[in-house]
């Protein structure tokens, strides 16, 4: 099992005691991401569409550091602060994730820092880059 944190990249630093990704058992488990600015680490301004786009960009950057891409994702959990934002989120999601789409759950939850959306993913990691944690 390997734990990865990407401190010297455009990926926003972790807020707390967690890794950006853990690769174990042929899968990559990514920590949930909210729409944070890469430089300031603060939540970006914008509606659900812009925040969804930013979340997926961060997920894609983390996957890229592992030598993976969005096509390797097998399961997503998209946390919405308001389930009424589902359609607007889904428009961005379906544009950015390539078909066939991963399995997905979309619960309504209270997110930190006033985020409108948060996304975590599980990806197949058989192509993951092998490097130190």
d(CA 48, CA 59) in angstroms, rounded, equals 16
pLDDT of residue 128: 64
Contact by Cβ (8 Å): 82, 108: yes
Q: Which residue range(s) make up the domain with 32?
A: 2-124
Give pLDDT, residue 15. Answer: 80
Residue 8, domain member (yes or no): yes
List of E strands, the chain: 2-4, 21-24, 27-30, 33-34, 73-80, 103-105, 117-124
- Domain with residue 56: its CATH number is 3.30.1330.40
CA distance 122 to 132: 20
In a domain, 131, yes or no: no
In-domain check, residue 115:
yes
* Structural domains of the chain, count: 1
- Specify the pLDDT at position 133: 41
pLDDT tens track for 37-46: 999 999 999 9
Task: Please identify every stretch of the chain with a pLDDT value under 50, giving residue numbers as ranges.
Answer: 132-133
pLDDT reported for residue 132: 45
């Amino acid at each position: 099992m390997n734990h990865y944190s990407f401190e010297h990249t455009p990926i926003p630093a972790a807020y707390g005691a967690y890794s950006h990704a853990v690769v174990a058992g042929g899968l990559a488990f990514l920590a949930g991401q909210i729409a944070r600015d890469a430089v300031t680490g603060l939540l970006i301004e914008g509606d659900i569409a812009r925040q969804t786009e930013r979340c997926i960009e961060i997920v894609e950057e983390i996957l890229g550091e592992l030598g993976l891409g969005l096509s390797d994702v097998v399961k997503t959990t998209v946390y919405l602060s308001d389930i009424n934002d589902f359609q607007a989120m889904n428009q961005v999601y379906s544009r950015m994730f390539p078909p066939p789409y991963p399995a997905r759950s979309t619960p309504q939850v209270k997110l930190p820092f006033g985020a409108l959306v948060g996304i975590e993913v599980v990806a197949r990691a058989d192509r993951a880059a092998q490097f130190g944690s």
